[in-house]
Copies of this chain bind each other. A is one copy, B any other.
Amino acid sequence: METIERKPRSREQTRSGIITTAKSIARREGWQAVSIRKIADAIEYSAPIVYEYFDSKDRLLDEIRSEGFRHLSQEYERILKLYRDPEKRLYEISLVQWEFARHQPEIYQVMYNLDGAYCTMPVYQSETMQAVSQIVRQTIFSFIPKSEESIKRLYFQWWSVSHGTIMLAMLLKDEQPLDQSEQIYRETMRRFVRDLR
């Protein structure tokens, strides 16, 4: 029996390899096609090795979801540094949300359990998601200093409009070009921000 040679990799490299592979399969074939064995094949290991890095498939998905929210929160922070005007900030944050969903749809899917992606952990219990919503709520607050309850409500509305439009755009992308949906999205979010005044 010959020893198969495998490029030596650090633990961290293998771990991120698993995540990257999962995402790339999801992007190509959809989340329902992502299996532990397929991931293991791609990283040239046997299936149980994946469990050395993640307790379960569920936890793997949860990690990818958290990674998504972390990425989003970093982008939001970038916007906050870039602009001072709260209106501009909220609008730009909205655009980041769109860009994210458009360029990394498989992550957006696992974040919200869309299109066959299914992660058991409730989204709202994710700390990284809490961080994201904190940023948006504060931005709205610096804009409309009202009670916490009102801010929560406005945030809920902002999120609904943004998420709803994005979801529908993805759903109808074969019928209605994404560029057209993007135009509507921009207009909708601009109006939402304007109407906050």
Interface residues of A (CB under 8 A from B): 32, 112-116, 118, 122-124, 152-153, 156-157, 159-165, 167-168, 171-172, 174-176, 181, 184, 188
Residues of B within 8 A of A188 (CB): 157, 160
Closest B residue to A112 by CB, please name it.
Answer: B171
Contact A113 B112 (CB under 8 A): no
| 16 pairs, CB–CB < 8 Å, chain A vs chain B | A112-B167, A112-B171, A113-B114, A113-B115, A114-B114, A116-B116, A122-B174, A124-B171, A156-B172, A156-B176, A157-B188, A160-B164, A160-B167, A161-B164, A162-B164, A164-B164
Complex Cα gap A184–B154 (Å): 10
Prevailing SS type, chain A contact patch: helix
Quick check: A165 and B160 within 8 Å, CB to CB? yes
Closest B residue to A32 by beta carbon equals B118
Given contacts A32-B118, A114-B113, A171-B112, contact A184 B157 (CB under 8 A): yes
Set of chain B residues within 8 Å of A168, measured between Cβ atoms? 156, 159-160, 163-164
A153: chain B residues at CB < 8 Å are 184
Residues of B within 8 A of A112 (CB): 167, 171
Q: Which residues of chain B have C-beta atoms less than 8 A from A123's C-beta?
A: 171
> Are B118 and A175 within 8 A (Cβ)?
no
A114 to B124, CA, bound (A): 16
